[in-house]
Amino acid sequence: MGEKIACLNLGQQPLANKFLTQKEVDKTLPGEDIGMYNLEYQYDIDTHLFSMINQPPKEDMFNNTYPYDSSGSQIMVEHFKTIANKINKDYVLKIPNDPFLSTIPNHSTDKINKNILEIGSNNGPFISNIDDRANRIAVEPCDNFAQITNDMGIPTYNKFWNKELSYEIMSDHGLMDVVYAANCMCHISDIKEAFYAVRSILNNNGVFIFEDPYLLDMLNLCSYDSLYDEHFSMFSIHSLTKLLNSVGLYINKIEHLDVHGGSIRIYTSCSNKNIDISIDKFMHTESLMGINKPITYKLFGEKVNNHRILLLNILEEQKSLGKKIISYGATSKSTTIFNYCGIGPDIIDYITDTTVAKQDKYSPGVHIPIISPEEGLTESVGSIFLGAWNFADYIMDKEKDYAINKKWIINVPFPRIV
Ligand code: TYD
């Protein structure tokens, strides 16, 4: 590891998904939640990795109270169904070198001799859509979610992904033909070991496909709220190329995805043959945008500070109009913003969220109450901060009648009223 430059300090932060009950709020002062830590990022000049300096213990973040539900929005359900169907068609059902059949017919009831592993399976929106004639295996450290996929009949290892676990799964099931992970690799602090563990369990002809938020999108959108305890790294293609190659994996293709404010899906294998043109394109754009230059990260830090001042000005102005300001979506992203900017219930009256597990709780650190949209979307509201801005089009369309005489406040790519 080479020289590292500390470039962004988002101050004392709570665990982004640690919503508090009424009882907990009664005995905790704002900013004194259990597990508060300093959220700071650095850029490594040698590896190009943008990562957190000190991550809170993983057991504090991912356990049986983890509330983030991948199946919580229709958009994400569709997203996982689509990629599962594509993987079924391109890898699971594919018969290599068969002159008559290209894929296994749908009407066949025979078992398919393929092993598919998902790392970080949450409550199963991806793995449950993989053809059940194949051998499906899941890894999920949060007990509550592991139980759900186990109950679906998918053997789920309720553990954190690492070398030891990959050996354990290998001895139980053999090598994997497909390994898939969504919004998971960026959570792992020893990322080199995590990739090594994937390489170890992967069949020589197998594929490892993973998707995570994209550093270039975060820099371009100044979406610093995508940074919180769980997001140890934000990947660029430059950093991934080095990391993956060091464990014998090669990027074969890259897709850009709109989800989570801009993500990348990386197709890798043990072969450096079949290299798609997309890789050159991504590398070129990243170089043009200065992704390898320390000054880029220094400027990002300054821009984030300016955004805080702008947002606070907007909120203050809206508050002076005398109507309620609420936040739409109790997201991890809004935890970062509210704690970094010092926005509490004196500014945001409450947050609405459709997730039942978050309702009647309080947002981490700043303790803003969370209620259901049915209760919270009332006429006394003057402006709505869009905490779930990654669903902006969907939400603003869904709420167009309700919001007709109200203002939306959006923080990306810069704080503004729309
Ligand atoms: P998400 O954007 O996945 O957030 P993060 O990764 O930052 O935690 O979560 C979106 C949150 O917004 C989730 O708690 C559900 C909520 N939500 C609504 O309340 N209404 C909606 O229409 C949508 C799409 C999401």
**Per-residue pLDDT tens over the stretch 345-358:** 999 999 999 999 99
Cis omega (within 30 of 0) for bond into 30:
no
Task: Please determine, for residue 69, whether its predicted confidence score (pLDDT) is greater than 90.
Answer: no
- Render pLDDT for 253-286 as a digit per residue (tens, 0 to 9): 999 999 999 999 999 999 999 899 999 999 999 9
- CB burial of 37-55 (b: ≥16 within 10 Å; e: otherwise) equals bebbbbbbeebbbbbbeeb
The answer to whether the CB of 213 is under 6 A from ligand 1 is no
Asked if the model's pLDDT at residue 251 lies above 70, the reply is yes
Task: For residue 68, report the distance from its CA to the centre of ligand 1, in Å.
Answer: 9
- Using the CB atoms, write b or e for 188-198: b if 16+ within 10 Å: beebbbbbbbb
Using a 6 Å cutoff on CB, does residue 332 contact ligand 1? yes
Angstrom CA distances, 286 to 62, 216, 276, 401, stand at 32, 7, 17, 40
Q: What is the mean pLDDT of residues 184-189?
A: 97
Contact 120, 184 (CB under 8 A): yes
Cβ atoms of residues 189 and 232 within 8 Å: yes
How far is CA 255 from its chain centroid? 16
Q: What is the CATH number of domain 61-291?
A: 3.40.50.150
On the 0-12 / 13-18 / 19+ scale of CB atoms within 10 A, 126 is buried
CA-to-CA dists, residue 212 to 116, 228, 231, 262, 412, angstroms? 19, 14, 10, 9, 19
Which residue has a Cα nearest atom 9 of ligand 1? 331
Q: The tokens of 363 are what?
A: 């947002």
Q: What is the pLDDT averaged over residues 399-403?
A: 97
Identify the CATH assignment for 4-48+295-417 out of 3.80.10.10, 3.40.50.720, 3.90.550.10, 3.30.110.70: 3.40.50.720
**Residue 329 Cβ contacting ligand 1 at under 6 Å:** yes
- Sorted by where each begins, the domain ranges of the chain are 4-48+295-417, 61-291
Q: Classify 31 in phi/psi space as left (phi over 0), alpha (psi -120 to 50) or beta.
A: left
Determine the distance separating the centroid of ligand 1 and the alpha carbon of 336, expressed in angstroms: 14
The predicted pLDDT at position 95 comes to 82
Question: What is the band of 1 on the pLDDT scale with cuts at 50, 70, 90?
Answer: low
391 lines ligand 1 (CB under 6 A): yes
Please state, as a whole number, how many other Cβ atoms lie within 10 Å of the Cβ of residue 84: 21
d(CA 269, CA 259): 24
Q: Give the amino acid at 320.
A: S
- State which ligand 1 atom lies nearest to the alpha carbon of 373: 19
Q: Is residue 264 within 8 Å of 211, Cβ to Cβ?
A: yes
Mutate to test the pocket of ligand 1, among 331, 368, 395, 408 (most ligand atoms within 8 A of CB): 331
Portion of the chain with pLDDT greater than 70, in percent: 100
One-letter amino acid for residue 106 of the chain? N
User: Does residue 261 line the site of ligand 1, with CB under 6 A?
Assistant: no
For residue 82, what is the enclosing H or E element? helix 74-87
This prediction's pTM: 0.93
Nearest CA to ligand 1 atom 19: 353
Per-residue pLDDT at 315 exceeds 60: yes
Structure-model confidence comparison of residues 206 and 74, the more confident one: 206
Could you tell me how many residues make up the chain?
Answer: 418
Over the chain, what is the mean pLDDT? 95
Contacts 24+ apart (CB under 8 A), 236-240: 236/48, 236/50, 236/286, 236/291, 237/264, 237/279, 237/282, 237/283, 237/286, 238/48, 238/283, 238/286, 238/291, 238/292, 239/44, 239/47, 239/48, 239/49, 239/50, 239/215, 240/266
Q: Which strand (E) or helix (H) includes residue 76?
A: helix 74-87
Task: Describe the chain by its helix, strand, coil percentages, rounded to 5.
Answer: 40, 25, 40
Q: What pLDDT digit, counting tens, does each position of 224-242 carry?
A: 999 999 999 999 999 999 9
Q: Are 254 and 280 in contact (CB under 8 A)?
A: no
- Cα angle 185-189-194, degrees, rounded to a multiple of 5: 50
In the chain, the percentage of residues whose pLDDT exceeds 90 is: 89
Considering only CA atoms, which residue is closest to atom 22 of ligand 1?
395
The answer, yes or no, to whether residue 28 has pLDDT greater than 60, is yes
335 lines ligand 1 (CB under 6 A): no
Q: Do 4-48+295-417 and 61-291 come out as alike in CATH topology?
A: yes
Tell me if 388 CB under 6 Å of ligand 1.
yes
| CA 410 to ligand 1 center in whole angstroms | 15
168 pLDDT tier (thresholds 50, 70, 90): very high
Asked if residue 210 lies in contact with residue 182, where contact means CB atoms within 8 angstroms, the answer is yes
